[in-house]
């Protein structure tokens, strides 16, 4: 299975043809997942319509929680990035922790994820 990051969902909902095609192709082969962190990022949008569209999309996929295993993986990533001087956004660390704890690929458009060699990441 594949986790899709906030950046991918935003572009999907915005009508990006490349991402729509990619998500459709992926959905034919496997279940698509995202994280509760991505859910939070999408649902905090100030525009009601965008929140409603995000809610509808989220209800059609699996949303995995940030749990103890995810917390431990995210903390290990944090420490490695801190030591290397390549820190990334806190939410991105949590998303990567969930993906890593579930041993899944993370699909993103965010280049900052390149700093995380421990996580299977596909930047599209």
Domain boundaries in the chain? Answer: 2-123
Q: What is the pLDDT of residues 28-62, one digit of tens each?
A: 999 999 999 999 999 998 788 888 999 999 999 99
User: CB-based contacts of 83: which residues, under 8 Å, 6+ apart?
Assistant: none
Query: Whole-number mean pLDDT of the chain?
Result: 92
The pLDDT of residue 118: 66
3-state SS string for 53-90: HHHHHHCCCEEECCCHHHHHHHHHHHHHHHHHCCCCCH
pLDDT of residue 119: 66
pLDDT over 90 percentage in the chain: 79
CATH architecture of 2-123: 3-Layer(aba) Sandwich (3.40)
Contact 109, 5 (CB under 8 A): yes
Question: How far apart are alpha carbons 69 and 72 in whole angstroms?
Answer: 5
- 20 pLDDT more than 90: yes
What is the strand order of the sheet 32-35 is part of? 62-64, 32-35, 2-4, 105-108, 121-123
Confidence of residue 120 (pLDDT cuts 50, 70, 90): confident
Comparing CA positions, the residue from 15, 17, 26 lying closest to residue 53 is 15
């Amino acid at each position: 299975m594949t986790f899709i990051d906030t950046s991918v969902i935003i572009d999907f909902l915005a009508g990006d043809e490349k991402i729509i095609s990619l998500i459709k192709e992926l959905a034919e082969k496997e279940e698509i997942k995202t994280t509760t962190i991505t859910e939070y990022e999408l649902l905090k949008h100030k525009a009601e319509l965008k929140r409603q569209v995000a809610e509808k999309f989220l209800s059609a996929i699996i949303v995995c929680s940030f749990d103890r295993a995810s917390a431990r993986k995210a903390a290990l990533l944090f420490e490695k990035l801190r030591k290397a001087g390549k820190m990334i956004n806190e939410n991105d660390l949590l998303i990567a922790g969930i993906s890593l704890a579930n041993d899944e690929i993370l699909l993103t458009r965010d280049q900052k994820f390149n700093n995380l060699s421990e996580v299977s990441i596909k930047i599209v």
